[in-house]
Structure 1
Amino acid sequence: MGTESIRRVAQAGGLDGYLQTAETMGGTFHHSHQIQTVPVHYNPSLPAGLHLSCGIARLSTQGGLGGFDLAGPGLTAMLCPADAPAFSTRMMEGEAKSCGFFLPVDAAAEIPHLGDIQAILRHGAPLRATNRPPPHLIAQLCAPIDPWFQDGARALVAQARVLELTALVWTWLSGKDERLQPSPRLATQADTARDMLEDRLRNPPSLAELARMVGTNVRTLTDAFRLRFDMSIATYVTKRRLEVAAHLLQEGMGVAQAAYHVGYTPSHFSNAFQRQFGMRPQAARHRR
């Protein structure tokens, strides 16, 4: 029943072709990974129950229970009533990954702290979202399950992901992750630096220039950026360049043209692309 409900939500946005599900631990584990070549707007009606999810995407969603915007890693928790109005969701073009767990109303699940999470949502805002989760943990949860795992072994992997996701949500909602985050001032500076890098991905500023632009020094900025995004500034630039290039390839741009567009020579681009995506650019282009 849970699988059918989750698949209907994915179908509303035309995303069901990328969806994998598994009935486990009293609920439904779900996972998806796709590259959107155009923005998608849809209005899903979510099934009643507890929804825990994480993902990496650019999207905006609004509904009767509230809303949120994400532009990268995000984490959400929602206790959805049976009469909740549909959400209006817009997913922008680019790579989108997600991992989630749905527990229907009155379903039993022997998962540590799951009852505590439900109590927090029941006695406060029923929808919570953060764009400040540890990026490496979100990436691990959203990574595809290796096809080497089959049948019972694959079910064990799904169970492990549900437990990890629940632990991540509990750590966030209980406020136990505050020490892992930069101060509000430093977080703002890191966010400003990221936005400046996005505007100049092809020819990014030097660290010294970037630090001056946001009003701090190189060491403070690099430390704050790593805390905020769980990666160095150089790693972020490389990752985003290749994500933009992957999108351009999906749209039909040639490999050399895509490489130059994001500031690479074709020879360096091919190797960097394979390190990040596990395939050569030409192969990615053929998967349109």
Structure 2
Amino acid sequence: MSFEYLYNLQVQEFVQQLYATNLLVSQNPAQLYRSHVQLPLPQQPGSSQETAPAPVPPPAPAALEPVEEEANEEPIFRGEKNSSKNGVYPVLVYDIPGSERCYVFQHHKKTARGDSLIYRCSGCRHQNQKFTSVLVTDDIFHKDPCRLNHNCIPLDRYKDKAERVIYESCQEIKQDKKAHRTPTQRHYSAAAKKILNMPWRKEERQKVLEKFSRNSYEDRRRSFARASSVHRRKVEMENVPEDLRKLPWGEDFLQVQTRDMHIYFSTDMACENGLSALIGDGVHKLNPVNTPNRMDKGQLYVIHGVVSGGIEVGLFEPNIVSQSL
């Protein structure tokens, strides 16, 4: 067998290119297919006119699409704004997942950041005088409220909702200047009706109403009575509010005012009914002896008015210290 072709320059060039090709294939086949160059085949001795066909390269593999990894979204701890007792800043109530209890956070102070506030756990403050704080933006907690270092027992969610309805009702009563004219029982009934109209589930409304009515009316009455007495004015012998001196249509109602006596009546009504005389009669003891707030001095008079036709009508019953008016 003759090895003279090994000394052929074309054969040596072919071998070098074949070695380079194999090296590229082993390192990055895709790059080779993109920039493939056909290499000339060596000619066998005696066959200078015949050439072998160039090999057809296989198709380049399709590039894999990059897989986008889903970003891990941080959980959002959102609270519910409710009315506070003083009505200045709302409280944030966080319901414990899978439970009927909650944590209530009240406003503590502002921060250097205008959009963030510091809230503290109301239960830790009232139960153990402990300061448990968390940063809040609007109604979103910056940390999981359940993972804070609490030192309190979570509150009953439905009982807290009932208390918040009472706080909200009392604040509305304080803003109404005529609320003191409404009986306290009516304020109590209005708060119960508000619970029934809340946009809650039917079962939730029933549980909140049960917590609201569990305490006696007397316990709730004090809260509504204090709220309605905000605009209640005191009438003293030497100081009568201007609007109480007159009737709604502008007529004078306070006719006589001294340090010891006030006389109120409508002149138009007296003239229409022919009032001709006022008679004080019927001296009685002011209070029974067993009454705690008993007055030792004074009489109870019944003032009668004589109108048209000589008819005597009882007008009012004043308490006086002396019989001489």
Q: Could you say which TM-score interval applies, normalised by the shorter chain?
A: under 0.3
| Greater C-alpha Rg | 2
Answer 1 or 2: which has greater helix percent.
1
Question: Structure 2-normalised TM-score?
Answer: 0.18
Q: Select the structure with the greater relative contact order (CA < 8 A; seq sep ≥ 6).
A: 1
